[in-house]
Amino acid sequence: MKIATWNVNSLTARWARVESWLLEHAPDVVLIQETKQSDEKFPFAPLAALGYESVHYGQGQWNGVAIFSKVGIEDVRRGFGDDDPEARFIGATCGDIRVYSCYVPNGRALDDPHYAYKLEWLAKLAQVLVERDRAQPVVVGGDFNVAPTDFDCYDPSLFVGTTHTSEPERAALRAIEATGLVDLTRHLNPDDPCFTWWDYRSGSFHRGWGLRIDMLYVDEGLCRKATASYVDREARKGEKPSDHAPVVAEFGA
DNA sequence: ATGTCACAGTCCCTGTGA
């Protein structure tokens, strides 16, 4: 079983890259963020031709999350069931695993209302995970827009006073882990930064100026079954890449 | 800090978000 998460920064603009990546890597389940398209534009039929069922929680111009699966999609949940107008959370059961695709708000700046919204959003996610069925395997993946520790940031000194590395954001991630989840990529790669995002500007990718902000959190049972987790840096190269690379996890029987 | 990208509308440039 291979499960991936990828912020594609517009599925409309990225479709050719996404299609070729699916063909090359053949993941069973993919958690997608930032489709930036309406349901009318979402490529349900092209995905079906590749062997994937898919579900989309779209908003149009901004945000938008989706799940692709070769092993079925049931019990779909869109959003937290509150009045949040932004499409950032979708869950489904794929095979015997409960999966969630998360696009955590950016936050913009520590004194911006969007930062408070980000912390509230992460608290709602933690509450969903507190209340989950502990007997069911779970993967909570996506773009968390937080680097969990300074090791997940190419130069923490540049982020002092900004979002993505602040203590409240990191505490929010620890609260998610405290529900019994493991940051799988870090768990299996303790000595490799495993950056997942590089700014489009300034040649950041080639200078190694990255952050690890895309994670796959898994329950302890799945953690024991995991055989590998890695970042596909190749997907960040070439023509029209997303600014995020896909993160992959592989599980044995 | 910034040598970028994607979107929609003001529609072949500009403002916004990341």
The series of mean pLDDT values per 10 residues for chain A, 253 residues long, is 98 98 98 97 98 97 97 98 96 98 97 97 98 98 98 97 98 98 98 98 96 98 98 97 98 93
Residue type, A155: D
pLDDT tens for each residue of A55-79: 999 999 999 999 999 999 999 999 9
Which amino acid is present at A21?
Answer: W
- The sign of the torsion formed by the CA atoms of A30, A31, A33, A36 equals positive
Torsion of CA A148, A150, A154, A160, to 10 degrees: 100
Average pLDDT, chain A: 97
Residue A117 Cβ < 7 Å to strand B: no
Contact between the CB of A12 and strand B at under 7 Å: yes
A106-139 confidence digits (pLDDT tens): 999 999 999 999 999 999 999 999 999 999 999 9
Question: What is the C-alpha separation between A159 and A212, in angstroms, rounded?
Answer: 13
Which nucleotide's C1' sits nearest to the alpha carbon of A38?
B7
What per-residue confidence (pLDDT) applies to A40?
94
Identify the pLDDT of residue A253. 83
CA distance readout (Å), A163 to A36, A113, A126, A173: 22, 12, 19, 14
The whole-model pTM stands at 0.98
CB-based contact A185:A249 (threshold 8 Å): yes
Residues of A classed as catalytic = 103, 143
User: Which chain A residues 32-51 have CB under 7 A to strand B?
Assistant: 36-37
What percentage of chain A exceeds 90 in pLDDT?
A: 100
Nucleotides of chain B within 7 Å of a protein C-beta? 1-8, 17-18
Nearest to A182 by CA among A151, A235, A130, A223: A223
Q: A2-251, superfamily in CATH? A: Endonuclease/exonuclease/phosphatase (3.60.10.10)
Q: Which amino acid is at A98?
A: R
Please say whether the dihedral angle defined by the alpha carbons of residues A111, A112, A115 and A117, taken in this order, is positive or negative: positive
Taking chain A, what is the end-to-end CA distance rounded to the nearest angstrom?
Answer: 8
The answer to whether A67 and A99 are in contact (CB under 8 A) is yes
Q: Is the CB of A237 under 7 A from strand B?
A: no
Give the CA A209 to C1' B11 distance in Å. 35
